[in-house]
Amino acid sequence: MGRDRIKILDGGMGTTLEAMGHSVNSELWGSELLHTNPEIMAGIHRQYAQAGADLVETCTYQLTSGNLSNYLSTIQASKTSSSPTFSYNENQNNDTSHTQDHDHDQDYDTNSLFCRSIDLVHTAFSSSPLHGSSINTVTHVTHSHQRTDKSKDVVFSCGPYGSTLRPGAEYSGLYPPPYGPSSSGSSEVGSDKAMNNFESSVEGQSQEEEAIRLLTKFHLDKLLTVALVEETWRKIEWIAFETIPLLYEIKAIRLAMGELYDLLRRHYWKAETLEDGWYKKKFWITCPFPNSQFPQMGPNGYHVEIDELMDTLISPTMHCQGQGQVGEAVTKPIPMPIPNGIGINCTNPSYLSSLSKEFTNALKGQLQRQREREQRPKVSFVCYPDGGQVYDVHTRSWSTPLGGSDPDEWAKGLLSIAREVEKAKFKSNDNKNDNDNDNDNDCGDGKESERNSEGEEYVWDGVIVGGCCKTSFDEIRALKTNLDKMYEKE
């Protein structure tokens, strides 16, 4: 049973491209190859599938309609300026022919490149000799240990707003206004504490609401580039919101998913009569933990704790300020979709053991407090750390710590954590001793987690493990090999 509850995600894309000699220094980072050489990217997806990945992400982490449009405009301007007057070759590079309606063509090219990113992953599974040609666009988890039904899932990658900034702000959460708080003259320049959390004043709350509104639009706009194209949207199984450094951006993402579901319900209303809710794709939200801490600071001057992060991730509603009947400020709850997966990415693997236990205990507490609900949230733990190297956002370079990084040891360490997380259980009944020793069963590290007594349920719906920056095919292959060995005698 345990083996069937663990899936393998692919590894890093940008750093893998760099290791192969490709530049990722343009405005689009590695996504530039979607336009200039998609076969290179297709080959990387294919190698991850062959290495054993059950899920493969698109190369769209930093990609937005805005930076892609700017890039295409620059390319178009360069072609025009270097070509003889009125003699532009419309068939150059097999691009869609250009017309005088430049804006229309630019929009078409922007959306088509997003769709191409999904097609490349989808095709990678069908062309992988190790995994055959069958792709499940709806996840099916078999209870057979042999896992003869290989479910291969396309994951649409969506980075935070901070991934579009120079330097990147995924680790700091330092967003400029109006996407972040206004700087305070009395605060230290460049201080995370000064810049990445809003004041608790009325003005601060107003700024936060505006930031949430803008970030909701930022994420929704990206989703709509592919969600309204039915053929493309049906190929996606998961949406990965990854490296999210701020609580209010998590709220914006969940609001964006709620708006997306409402829009697609109306857009696909005819198809829904045959397949109820097919357009509601699963999504996960993962966060970075530089130096083992969530980037956002709290009003007390300390980093936000896992319990507060968990509440923001899976609370069924968000409370927003509004106007009452006589104009007074009131707080009203807004329902939000609950992610199908939450967890950790782009983090040094040395922090995973303690962080995974904190996540498990925090979710366990939420589940036990929600006993009255008819349906508790079913959430998978998603964990794809870095390869162990350290990244400098200013020089955009990596440094290797003493001792280096071995793919096999990296995989074994990650899988030992994944197995403990997978086994963790909680008491779901109303026995009088429910509250006794609840916190002693941290993460399934003993016999308590393996009990199959009545009233116990798994804390997590499943586990997804993979690699982020500075991981590649060797790490994913090692994950597959060691995961199979871990359960081969069961």
Known binding positions for Zn(2+): 346, 468-469
- 286, 384 in Cβ contact below 8 A? yes
Q: Which amino acid is at 390?
A: V
Please tell me the distance from the alpha carbon of residue 216 to that of residue 376, in angstroms, as a whole number.
26
CB atoms within 10 A of CB 120: 23
**Phi, then psi, of 345 in degrees rounded to 5:** -145, 170
Total residue count of the chain as it appears in this document:
490
Can you say which residues are annotated as belonging to the binding site? 346, 468-469
Q: Say which residue the tokens 């630019």 belong to.
A: 106
Inter-helix orientation angle 65-82/102-126, to 10°? 110
Beta partners for residue 283, in sequence order: 239
Q: Is the dihedral of CA 173, 176, 177, 179 positive or negative?
A: negative
Buried b (16+ CB within 10 A) or exposed e, 139-158: beeeeeeeeeebbbbbbbbb
For the chain, counts of helices (H) and of strands (E): 15, 14
Structure tokens at 152: 């291969």
Residues 6+ apart with CB under 8 A from 354: 292
Strand partners of residue 322: 330
320, 217 in Cβ contact below 8 A?
no
Compute φ and ψ for 384, nearest 5 degrees: -140, 95
CA angle 479, 484, 488 (to 5 degrees): 155
Q: How far apart, in whole angstroms, are the C-alpha atoms of residue 490 and residue 483?
A: 12
Q: Which sign does the torsion angle of CA 401, 405, 410, 413 carry?
A: negative
Q: Which of 183, 180, 205, 204 is nearest to 194 (CA)?
A: 183
